């Protein structure tokens, strides 16, 4: 159960990060569970640098989340957007935090 949930969270974090890299002008946000996976990617600096180097043109992708969470459906819209981009999101993970989203601050250049 623990490994399964870990794989689900990390997999959806990769989908979110790739979606934000491939669509920098799209305002995306992530729920608490998937954000755990995003932070794990960032903290594993060789992995994060590899993602940035291979998929973001060698530019570092910053992560600057707002402190306050939003409750305007951004997380659900992000899941819908990722689905339209061909990602097979984990519906349950996105629905759990669907109304409690952590958007990022757009004041930091190239942040997600």
Tokens standing for residue 105:
């601050």
Predicted local distance difference test score (pLDDT) of residue 45: 93
Is position 111 within any domain? no
Predicted local distance difference test score (pLDDT) of residue 7: 96
> Nearest 5°: phi and psi at 108?
-95, 125
Is position 16 within any domain? yes
Model confidence over 24-41: pLDDT tens digits?
A: 999 888 888 899 999 999
Burial of 76 (0-12, 13-18, 19+ CB in 10 A): middle
20 near 28, Cβ under 8 Å?
A: yes
Is position 38 within any domain? yes
Domain that holds residue 52: 2-103
Is position 112 within any domain? no
Is position 109 within any domain? no
Taking 50 as the pLDDT cut, the residues of the chain under it are 108
In the chain, the number of structural domains is 1
In angstroms, the CA 60 to CA 72 distance is 29
């Amino acid at each position: 159960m623990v490994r399964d949930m870990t794989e689900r969270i990390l997999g959806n974090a990769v989908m979110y990060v790739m979606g934000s890299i491939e669509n920098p002008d799209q305002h995306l946000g992530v729920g608490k569970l998937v954000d755990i996976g995003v932070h794990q990617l960032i903290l594993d600096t060789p992995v994060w640098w590899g993602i940035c180097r291979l998929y973001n043109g060698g530019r570092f992708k910053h992560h600057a989340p707002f402190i306050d969470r939003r409750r305007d459906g951004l997380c659900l819209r992000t899941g819908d957007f990722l689905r339209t981009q061909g990602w097979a999101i984990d519906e349950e993970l996105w629905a759990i935090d669907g109304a409690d989203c952590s958007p990022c601050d757009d004041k930091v250049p190239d942040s997600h």
